[in-house]
Structure 1
């Protein structure tokens, strides 16, 4: 049985780039707590048999049930510690089960977040015909069908005061004035085709311009992203699974000056004396697979080519952007 947890200590999770409402974090920001289905819990609990996969997923910390202090069982809302009214269940799950996971954005001062929804087929075998038709339409009209992924959402730090959003983006970007972010909604990613989706990645990776120090960061971050996505692809090529609507989450330090400070901290950090030592170090970038509500193991059915297509397309775009960043940096340094 999941242990009871008092939701009044939780706060609205503010760093999500996409996904459903109702995701919360603990006061320390180290974990996220989100409503889930038993199938997602089962997937995470099966990872003990897949140790090569666990480094590429957020750490699973168990489950929680909502405490008896909930307002009413049919309201589906709580008032959190920061005063926000949260609808935890969306379209009302029949369970109060919540999954507790590592917060991937913890350790960043100003995390820039990009959520890539994988797959041309976005529905699982249990989906009703009307849901299949709706999601097939979304896939056909976006890069989901052509590339096997689409941009589901982005958060990029722009600084305070936040620069105004251009008229061409006003339907796609909300401004977080206090935090200094542009928050790109799900419709932003749906406007791209395979020919121009690179522009979305460029808006993410060059969020503070293309001066020399920004290009240096872009080169380093893109090289890291590319290596991590390739590693994830290699692992899943050896797995027999189906992960409909799973995502790859890309995160990097959005403040270029903080990025430089973090690099220096990491350089000067003492080496770990033993393999089991744990040190709370800041991060420059991270890549994880998330969202496994529709994930299952399918022995005998081969790798999940539906998701792998999106991973490979992502790698191709990252490689193209890395090559361009290196070329632009060489030109800037030669000027």
Structure 2
């Protein structure tokens, strides 16, 4: 992703997040996400560039941190400097729900959902142990309870949130999902909250993935898209596993983010445009190309390197469970397509 100037005074609430904290922002172009972070998260991203460049393709592009300067005047557009710093003029930005948030420590990242018309987003929180060594006893107890009562404990991950495009008009939320799903009628989505993922056990977790991958139904072109997207997800997830199996890290409460084009017609148009795009497009033209699917690791607020301690099996277990479920779903979709062809 190229570095472009943008006007920090135009930052607005980010609308495509499937999970996470309030205060996530985006610029008007939608290419950049600005979110509150810890010093550990910035250090982790910086260490990727410095010492682990092989992991960079599996993370959002790191573009620096947001540094505030209350003594600056004016609000002219500024660029991300070589030091990785963006300077704003007013010292504060609008938080979700209209509250002010001290933005002294914000990280600036590539927006993974940029380039999609209707991004379907699935956030999978990794790990059975969700706390790092610095957590207080009460926090450990609370997170251990969450883990024990959800698929975090049984599978090493849980669904933290989903946004699924349902088309327009948006169907009303079914009675059994009203406490878990809110219909976004303006944008055409069902938005699944964090409690949705907590209701599943290992035996029925596939239901959550099916609701994600079959957002617009299971007709011919939807099934074809599901097969392509699931095959891509599976390949990317396996690549991430292989990359992190070689690393000695600890990434408590990190996530895998899965994204695909939720509008099946936009998906078809994007495929056609990508087929016709000249090979090796670079710069602004590459930034404007549509996207079909993406898989990235995100959320490194509690991530560190652990030399001598081996790979992060806590997170890797969740990644492996994810690949197993993706493979099951892919097999199921292929059987449905084979049956349709034989009919």
Instruction: Give TM-score, length-normalised by structure 1.
Output: 0.91
Point out the more displaced range, 311-320 or 264-273: 264-273
SS in 1 for 2:256: strand
- Which residue in 1 is equivalent to 2:82? none
1:157-209 superposed Cα distances (whole Å, 9 cap, x missing partner): 01121101100000000111100110000000000000000000000000000
Aligned CA distance change for structure 1 residues 236 and 133 (closer, same or farther; 3 Å): same
**1:271 offset after TM fit, Å?**
1.3
Alignment of 1:123-272 (within 5 A): 123-272=131-280
Aligned CA distance change for structure 1 residues 265 and 139 (closer, same or farther; 3 Å): same
Contact 1:6 1:66 in 2 (8 A): no
> Are 1:37 and 2:38 matched, yes or no?
yes
1:105-134 superposed Cα distances (whole Å, 9 cap, x missing partner): 000000000000000000000000000000
- Which residue in 2 is equivalent to 1:52? 54
Q: Aligned equivalents of 2:225 and 2:286: distance in 1?
A: 26
Contact 2:13 2:94 in 1 (8 A): no
> Are 1:27 and 2:40 matched, yes or no?
no
Aligned CA distance change for structure 1 residues 274 and 60 (closer, same or farther; 3 Å): closer
> Are 1:291 and 2:299 matched, yes or no?
yes
Aligned CA distance change for structure 1 residues 79 and 119 (closer, same or farther; 3 Å): closer
- Which residue in 2 is equivalent to 1:73? none
**1:52 offset after TM fit, Å?**
1.0
**1:281 offset after TM fit, Å?**
1.4
**1:333 offset after TM fit, Å?**
2.1
Aligned CA distance change for structure 1 residues 146 and 59 (closer, same or farther; 3 Å): same
> Are 1:18 and 2:19 matched, yes or no?
yes
Contact 1:77 1:85 in 2 (8 A): no
Point out the more displaced range, 109-118 or 257-266: 257-266
Aligned partner of 1:312 among 320, 324, 329? 320
Q: Aligned equivalents of 1:35 and 1:249: distance in 2?
A: 18
**1:332 offset after TM fit, Å?**
1.4
**1:86 offset after TM fit, Å?**
4.3
- Which residue in 1 is equivalent to 2:98? 85
1:77-97 superposed Cα distances (whole Å, 9 cap, x missing partner): 7447xx9614536xxxxx711
Runs of 5+ consecutive residues of structure 2 not aligned to the other structure: 1-5, 73-90
What count of residue pairs does the alignment treat as equivalent?
A: 319
- Which residue in 2 is equivalent to 1:92? none
1:245-282 superposed Cα distances (whole Å, 9 cap, x missing partner): 0000000000001101111111111112789x946311
Q: Aligned equivalents of 1:200 and 1:190: distance in 2?
A: 11
Q: Aligned equivalents of 2:70 and 2:7: distance in 1?
A: 8
Point out the more displaced range, 305-314 or 260-269: 260-269
SS in 2 for 1:53: helix
Point out the more displaced range, 5-14 or 215-224: 5-14
- Which residue in 1 is equivalent to 2:115? 107
- Which residue in 1 is equivalent to 2:9? 8
SS in 1 for 2:54: coil
Contact 1:7 1:66 in 2 (8 A): no
**1:8 offset after TM fit, Å?**
2.9
SS in 1 for 2:241: helix
1:52-73 superposed Cα distances (whole Å, 9 cap, x missing partner): 1000000000011245299xxx
Contact 1:21 1:87 in 2 (8 A): no
Q: Aligned equivalents of 1:177 and 1:274: distance in 2?
A: 36
Point out the more displaced range, 155-164 or 123-132: 155-164
